[in-house]
Amino acid sequence: MTRPPTIVAMGGGGFSQQPDDPRLDDYVLAATGVDRPRVCFLPTAASNVDRYLATFYPAFAAKAIASHLDLFMRSGRDIRTPLLEQDVIYVGGGSTANMLAIWRLHGVDGILREAWERGIVLAGVSAGGLCWFEQGSTDSFGPDLAALDGLLGILPGSFCPHYDGEALRRPRLHQLIAAGELGSTYACDDGAAVVFHGRELHEAIAERDGATAYRVELVDGAVRETPIPTRLLP
């Protein structure tokens, strides 16, 4: 494939949160350069897979060749080959910690890195945006939010989803960074995403007016939040 290794990490939005606004999902599909791309959905983080699939297929079936991988109902067949035949691998939200543990048990973590190296577009929302980084803030262990290390580490640094969508996200992220539990972090509002080509930030995008991506980091002992210019998708 000639397209660069691409990751679209969404703070929130997409088909699961904004089913009537397909702009973020359409951006992901367009990044493939394929008229009718093959898209495989990984709902591993979710506690109710059937409900998630009931929203995924209507959102993608008309404009992509849609499929999913359910690791709780494995048929015993090889999973590497079908994943590496995709144009997009799209990861849903839920428990990041549980998802990573299951992926590693089944070898999905290594397949996803191989997919990225091959130019398959990787995308996801919430846990599906967080997983690509080295670390981030998560509600996997409860609503108070905690730092989580040992993510896939394809992208450098940390990630925080739902930056404006949940009241605790912004202040708790600042606390974790000030305490040295998290390093420099990309934080995305619901409806905003950061796009990486390789390991470098390519752009920030949004599906709604006002949704913004930020760089949050410790500078001279104080937490500094810097908005990233965020392009509103047409």
Which member of 16, 126, 137, 140 is catalytic? 126
Angle between helices 96-106 and 108-118 (to 10 degrees): 90
Long-range CB contact pairs, 133-136, < 8 A, 24+: 133/9, 133/157, 133/158, 133/159, 133/186, 134/158, 134/183, 135/182, 135/183, 136/96, 136/160, 136/182, 136/185
DSSP string over 59-112: HHTTTSEEEE--GGG--S--SHHHHHT-SEEEE--S-HHHHHHHHHHHTHHHHH
**Nearest to residue 155, comparing CAs of 102, 107, 197?**
197
Single-letter code of the amino acid located at 14: G
Instruction: Count CA within 13 A, CB hemisphere, residue 177.
Output: 27
Position of tokens 């981030």? 136
Q: Is 140 a catalytic residue?
A: no
Query: Quick one: pLDDT at residue 82?
Result: 95
Mean pLDDT of 170-186: 97
Whether residue 63 is predicted with pLDDT greater than 70 in this model: the reply is yes
Token pair 């896939």: residue? 152
pLDDT tens for residues 100-139? Answer: 999 999 999 999 999 999 999 999 999 999 999 999 999 9
Lowest mean pLDDT among 15-24, 195-204, 218-227: 15-24
Contacts of 197 (CB under 8 A, 6+ apart): 4, 5, 6
Task: Return the pLDDT at 49.
Answer: 86
The domains of the chain, with CATH numbers, are: 6-232 (3.40.50.880)
Respond yes or no: is residue 68 known to be catalytic: no
Predicted pLDDT of residue 76: 67
Residue 1 has pLDDT above 60, yes or no: no
How far apart (Å, rounded) are the C-alpha atoms in residues 66 and 10? 20
In sequence order, what are the beta bridge partners of 157? Answer: none
What are the residues facing 201 on neighbouring strands?
196
Predicted pLDDT at 89: 98
Catalytic residue (one of 16, 140, 158, 162): 162
For residue 144, what pLDDT band results from cuts at 50, 70 and 90?
A: confident
Token pair in block for residue 77: 């067949």
Residue-wise pLDDT for 72-105, tens only, equals 877 767 899 999 999 999 999 999 999 999 999 9
